[in-house]
Chain A
Amino acid sequence: FIQYCLSGHPTLPCNVLKFKSTTIMLDCGLDMTSTLNFLPLPLVQSPRLSKLPGWVLKDGSTFLDKELKECSGRVFVDSVPEFCLPETELLDLSTVDVILISNYHCMMALPYITENTGFTGTVYATEPTVQIGRLLMEELVNFIERVPKAQSASMWKNKEVQRLLPAPLKDAVEVSMWRKCYTMPEVNAALSKIQLVGYSQKIELFGAVQVTPLSSGYALGSSNWIIQSHYEKVSYVSGSSLLTTHPQPMDQTSLKNSDVLILTGLTQIPTANPDGMVGEFCSNLAMTVRNGGNVLVPCYPSGVIYDLLECLYQYIDSAGLSSVPFYFISPVANSSLEFSQIFAEWLCHNKQTKVYLPEPPFPHAELIQTNKLKHYPSIHGDFSNDFKQPCVVFTGHPSLRFGDVVHFMELWGKSSLNTVIFTEPDFSYLDALAPYQPLAMKCVYCPIDTRLNFIQVSKLLKEVQPLHVVCPEQYTQPPPTQSHRTDLMIDCQPPPMSYRRAEVLTLPYKRRYEKIEIMPDLADSLVPLEIKPGISLATVSAMLHTKDNKHVLQLPPKPPQPPTSKKRKRVSDDVPECKPLKPLLSGSIPVDQFVQTLEKHGFSDVKVEDTAKGHIVLLQEAETLIQIEEDSTHIICDNDEPLRVKLRDLVLKFLQKF
């Protein structure tokens, strides 16, 4: 089978697998790091941002100063932020039969893939993935659409122009592929193509392939996928975690016996321990608040935030923070908090047990009830009345380019009492902060990435023992900034096959068998013979029917009755069909017994001569001789068909048929 690699981002994969005439897309992650090259979209007019100087080329030409602005030595595009899409030219997207989604972070490009591309297939995902994925998309669309921007910069993308720009704009890849955000109608249309699935549900695709989602332990409803036929098994591992947070634990055993294991979505911060980061998060938060400062936590509206709130729930009383208000601001904050409580079946065992009581699985229900946590759709409206400082604000977007977070960065950035704590690992915090420089606010980097690290991966690979591993090329070498850390790469035997964006891989596999069904009446007609102890054989001559990639063997139709009327005109009508085929023969013929048999059947003049390799049996009267050797018998007679048939049957008595 063949793998088309449409994304080079290791945690936001998009691959297409051609497997037994089925075209399967694995995830469609959207690389949003491209937005870091854009100026933030402020909710409230920001004098600072609007006063940034236009960028002037070295030769003094100013034709780009409307599109590009300079801030603390970095150049940003002043335009609606754009995203880097997966490759859409590598193969015709209308030929994709199904899309398998592994978690809600890996479906953000879905509307670009399913809408306006001729895609007519089905998307498979679990219910939490769809519901939370919808919230993420809704939030994104809302963030972008509520700050309409008149200007759309495109001049800088010209290859000749881009060459002249300073880094990192100069090195930005595939800028011609960057696209604006999709709209809600497109999101709804894309999501309507999703069919819900449950863990360990076996889904048949066109009778040829079976796909099964498995719990991956990373997020609510997150899955790895098994793609298999009767004889080949591909495991697709994406965003998995072995840490006990809120989701159901990872199912590892079902990954065993894979021919190919495609490995994506490992931790982006292999050197940071998530537990330690949570500890640091709490202590930094407490310290800032105690000193009278505010804490800003740029975050996604679902995922790690549930764990952070749970930690804080246990921590705030002991840290004396019970009077500090916690705000969660997002257009989908309420939905996210509500949805998190209704997916009992997708949660870890402890949380499931709580639901049986029945109590809400997440303690943020109690934080809300006791008014410690308040949530708002945006900074406008009720929030402005309730807002008290010092406080802790959870809000998006983690890129700091759009969403309510932009407002708080502008509001709190000037005071060193305040702290921004980065917990989401998707964006470099230095790049995220660049358009806000110079900044007085404290910045703490506590990336919490619960996905597999390299130690866990090598243990996993040893455990499940795939024949081949396929992974993004980033995993086959140490991180560029830490080239001596050879422990930060995948170590397995045979070495993994790596891929990069826009590459097409042919995956190794060797298949020797296929499934076929023998119909009951045919099975009844078979005559098995025990050839060796424990091994029986039966010769099968049957009609092979192939439909929908399934093979069935049936009894051959009865030979038609010879026509009674004499309508035959041509001689060739008499020519026998070369079927049914005769079986192969095996065994050897003991001459003495054979001669006895001949005599029993009325041949009285049998004479045996020895030869170098065997014997010759002579039937003198019939002028017939039979050469018998170890592996062959040769009957030579005159044209006497009844005699030949009789001798044949006598010989066959001594041989086995195959």
Chain B
Amino acid sequence: LTCLSFFLAGAGQDVGRSCILVSIAGKNVMLDCGMHMGYNDDRRFPDFSYITQNGRLTDFLDCVIISHFHLDHCGALPYFSEMVGYDGPIYMTHPTKAICPILLEDYRKITVDKKGETNFFTSQMIKDCMKKVVAVHLHQTVQVDEELEIKAYYAGHVLGAAMFQIKVGCESVVYTGDYNMTPDRHLGAAWIDKCRPDLLITESTYATTIRDSKRCRERDFLKKVHETVERGGKVLIPVFALGRAQELCILLETFWERMNLKAPIYFSTGLTEKANHYYKLFITWTNQKIRKTFVQRNMFEFKHIKAFDRAFADNPGPMVVFATPGMLHAGQSLQIFRKWAGNEKNMVIMPGYCVQGTVGHKILSGQRKLEMEGRQILEVKMQVEYMSFSAHADAKGIMQLIRQAEPRNVLLVHGEAKKMEFLKQKIEQEFHVNCYMPANGETTTIFTNPSIPVDISLGLLKRETAIGLLPDAKKPKLMHGTLMMKDNSFRLVSPEQALKELGLTEHQLRFTCRVHIQDPRKEHETVLRVYNHLKGVLKDYSVQHLPDGSITVESILIQATAHSEDQGTKVLLVSWTYQDEELGSYLTSLLKKGLPQSTA
């Protein structure tokens, strides 16, 4: 019996700051190392003291896995590796490895250069941290050490997002990171094989939502943008530079083309061009359609979408602006928002989830008077729209993934407690598996009961499959062997081989019983009667009458001698080995009943 245990440093019953510690068969793996965007203090990073109280991170952890480049999954990585101190391997996919340092640097700039915070990680730390990263291919089995292996599966969600299988021996955990079970305009759907993990750790951002069809949401989005632009309003779409932004750009680009619209579309500069470059170079990670047509037309080269300049925000007339970051918590999107918020003709469309504490979350929950820095009150008159474009699996998608992977236990993370509770019940009802939803700082232990792989000697296996009376190989057969356990190797061999390998000899235990039979006939006639009798009774056994006058039933030997005193009594010596005890014992009791009279 072994156990898996989990400790949630972040992401338990909460969105943001994903960080999960898994112990599986003696190996410790950290899944994601995210930051919380709703906090600006210590709480923004996961609490690693749970690990560090027992020594160095590098000694404790066998590896770190990052599922995708969103900061709530990788934002604390340089802090973790360079400031707390971790020198072991960090695994992520190639696109994540490419994009993650850029977002980290961007995050650092906003925090340190703009907000003037100190005691934060530096550019050099980001570089040093990335040197510890090992890039993995999809479906590649990465041998972290001799026992621990990991494997990435496509997760959709954002470019390079992956789910990871962590495996030690026959025990395994799958961590989904964030994923999307329906393909969108630029990415494909998450996929996993029937890998039957002991535990599936799944995000549950949209635990209770069954979203309407993507097409409807897209139509809705375009309609709102179109209406606002038509009446001369400005549309602000706060996005993260990579991910939803590209999907919405493709959507608007094709719409503008089709409707022949003239209002300008801008994309806040900096990351954008670079971001589109990444999409071009990692086109193999996008969806089927884009991959197929990229030689003729690269979907990430936009005709209608131009780079944004800060001064454009004050331009009169309609426009659409994509600006970062996505939750209106800092940077350009917040600046534009402050400029445009007072005009009811304008509109802000939040295309993704907003973490508690951010301006985005506040306006989505209906707040219309916001306290900004310096106690200034900002009145929001512009229209606020929420469109769920963020590519998380909804309840249906989560159930679908569970059906695909067939886990034995499910652990919900990255969601809100109330919604998770609902989903937990649903999962337990439908799949009859245990479902957990621990809070931050909580440890959950799950006991697994794996079957044990051993080496069976081919001789024994062939013997066992050969001696079956039925030639049907599919039918289960009883087999006997000796399991030899030496160091960590388990071998199942025939008892004879086990003895031989140990240098031991067999000790033969033999029994001989005397059975008296009343029979006045000559000895050989008695033997013949016994033979016929046994042959008649034991139809399925090999009964033989040997030339030397003895009888064998399988390996049991029967000999007859005359009684030394009474010629009318014959003595049958029945002799068998311990291995044939049942048959031997049965034969003596059978012979003791005497011979039937008719057999003469």
Contact = CB atoms under 8 A, between A and B. Distances in A.
A534 B137 contact: no
Contacts of B1: 520
Nearest to B483: A538
B137 A200 contact: yes
Given A201-B141, A523-B451, A644-B511, A335 B295 contact: yes
A352 B499 CA distance: 57
A201 B140 contact: yes
Interface in A567-585: 571-572, 574-576, 578-585
A581 B135 CA distance: 54
Contacts of B476: 543-545, 554
B461 interface: yes
Contacts of A536: 484-486
A632 B509 contact: yes
B477 interface: yes
B506 A586 contact: yes
Interface stretch (B303-311, B560-568, B579-587): B579-587
A648 B502 contact: no
B449 interface: yes
Main secondary structure of the interface of A (DSSP, over half): mixed
A356 B133 CA distance: 13
Contacts of B495: 539, 583-584, 658
B259 interface: no
A541 interface: yes
Contacts of A542: 478-479
A512 interface: yes
Interface stretch (B21-29, B58-66, B111-119, B534-542): B534-542
Contact of B458 (A513, A589, A638): A513
Nearest to B503: A532
B578 to A, nearest CB: 6
Nearest to B510: A634
A119 interface: no
A284 interface: no
Contacts of A358: 98, 274, 277-278, 281
A514 B541 CA distance: 32
B52 interface: no
A173 B498 CA distance: 57
Given A516-B492, A539-B482, A539-B495, A582 B510 contact: no
B97 interface: yes
Contacts of A634: 509-512
B94 interface: yes
Nearest to A213: B140
Interface string B472-508: 0110111111111111000110011011001011111
Given A514-B461, A541-B479, A633-B510, A581 B579 contact: yes
A485 interface: no
B456 A639 contact: no
Given A334-B295, A534-B486, A535-B486, A202 B458 contact: no
A594 interface: no
A587 B499 CA distance: 10
A633 B509 contact: yes
Contacts of A543: 476-479
Contact of A631 (B482, B502, B508, B514): B508
Given A639-B513, A641-B588, A585 B478 contact: no
Contact of A518 (B451, B459, B480): B451
Given A342-B283, A345-B94, A651-B509, A199 B451 contact: no
Contacts of A576: 582-583, 586
A477 interface: no
A108 B94 CA distance: 30
Nearest to B512: A636
Contacts of B498: 537, 658
Contacts of B537: 571-572, 575
B480 A540 contact: yes
Contacts of A343: 284
Contact of A198 (B137, B473, B509, B511): B137
Contacts, number: 264
Interface in A238-254: none
Contacts of B140: 198-201
Interface string A328-355: 0000001100110111110000001001
Contacts of B278: 358
Given A552-B451, A633-B507, A658-B499, A639 B514 contact: yes
B282 interface: yes
Interface string A517-553: 1111001001010011011111111111111000111
Main secondary structure of the interface of B (DSSP, over half): mixed
A200 B586 CA distance: 59
A511 interface: yes
Contact of A578 (B483, B487, B583): B583
A572 B295 contact: no
B450 interface: yes
Contacts of B505: 586, 631
Chain B residues touching A, range: 35 or more
B554 interface: yes
Contact of A540 (B483, B504, B512, B516): B483
B281 A584 contact: no
Interface in A195-230: 197-202, 212, 230
B579 A584 contact: yes
Contacts of A648: 509, 511, 578, 581
A631 B138 contact: no
A197 B505 CA distance: 52
B515 interface: yes
A554 B498 CA distance: 21
Nearest to A532: B502
Nearest to B571: A638
Interface string B91-122: 00010011001000000000000000000000
B572 to A, nearest CB: 9
B219 interface: no
Interface string B66-103: 00000000000000000000000000001001100100
A355 B588 CA distance: 85
A246 to B, nearest CB: 15
A360 interface: yes
B479 A344 contact: no
A338 B586 CA distance: 83
A572 B579 contact: no
Nearest to A354: B281
B343 to A, nearest CB: 38
Contacts of B483: 518, 526, 528, 537-540
A345 B282 CA distance: 9
A277 interface: no
Given A585-B578, A655-B509, 11 more contacts: A197-B139, A198-B139, A199-B137, A358-B278, A513-B456, A518-B451, A586-B506, A587-B504, A631-B505, A633-B510, A652-B509
21 contacts: A200-B140, A200-B141, A201-B139, A212-B141, A514-B461, A516-B455, A517-B454, A539-B481, A540-B492, A543-B476, A543-B478, A546-B473, A546-B474, A547-B474, A553-B492, A572-B540, A579-B478, A631-B505, A631-B507, A634-B512, A644-B513
Interface of A: 127, 197-202, 212, 230-231, 334-335, 338-339, 341-345, 352, 355-356, 358, 360-361, 511-520, 523, 526, 528, 531-532, 534-547, 551-554, 556, 571-572, 574-576, 578-589, 631-639, 641, 644, 648, 651-652, 655, 658
Interface of B: 1, 94, 97-98, 101, 135, 137-142, 274, 277-278, 280-284, 294-295, 449-459, 461, 464-465, 473-474, 476-487, 491-492, 495-496, 498-499, 502, 504-516, 537-541, 554, 578-583, 585-586, 588-589, 592
